[in-house]
Amino acid sequence: PIQVPGRPLRSKDCAVTTPDIDPALFRDAMSRLAASVNIITTELDGTRRGCTATAVCSLSDTPASLIVCLNRGSSTGQLIQASGIVGVNLCDSADNDTAALFASKADDKFRPGMCDEGAVTGAPLLRSAVAGFEGKVVEAKAFGSHIIFIVEIVAVTVADQARAPLLYLNRAFGAFAAH
């Protein structure tokens, strides 16, 4: 609802209805939303998991926090729930193959020399990442097919050189080109 100065909100202003939206139509519309490609990682007792995600966004800078949304069936999301730690790796524009690997159902996605252990949480951080965030889950909420993680950031790494991030648009990877 839009708050109009001088007018109190009434309960009828806050009513929310959910029309029946065709899931395929919704996914098609969302495929037109350009998004940064991230590899979400976690680790618990020597077990590493990771997946590719575009449903990641900044929540606050004080405290530094992100929102990460993963499908409920994701083994990465399940291990994040158990470990309470998250690595968010912003992919470099050259990381197409890495993003495709982490989007797959492959059992062993981590390659030798691909990651370093995060200094604070131990979450795997990609060496090729434009930026890496280590965080601790402060809240998790199931909604529809996904789990929404609110992640408080405890460490940040940024690549030495400014590099273009990998984007996802129209079901394809690409890079941003400034005009």
> What are the pLDDT digits (tens) for 125-163?
999 999 999 999 999 999 999 999 999 999 999 998 888
* Residue 151, SS3 per DSSP: strand
Segments in the chain forming alpha helices (H): 23-30, 75-83, 96-103
Neighbours of 99 (CB within 10 A): 21
Q: Is 50:95 a contact under the CB 8 Å cutoff?
A: no
Write down the pTM of the prediction: 0.87
Per-residue pLDDT at 19 exceeds 80: no
Rounded CA-CA distance 67/56 in Å is 6
Q: How far is residue 111 from each of residues 53, 100, 101, 127, measured CA to CA in Å? A: 19, 14, 10, 11
pLDDT-based confidence at residue 89 (cuts at 50, 70, 90): very high
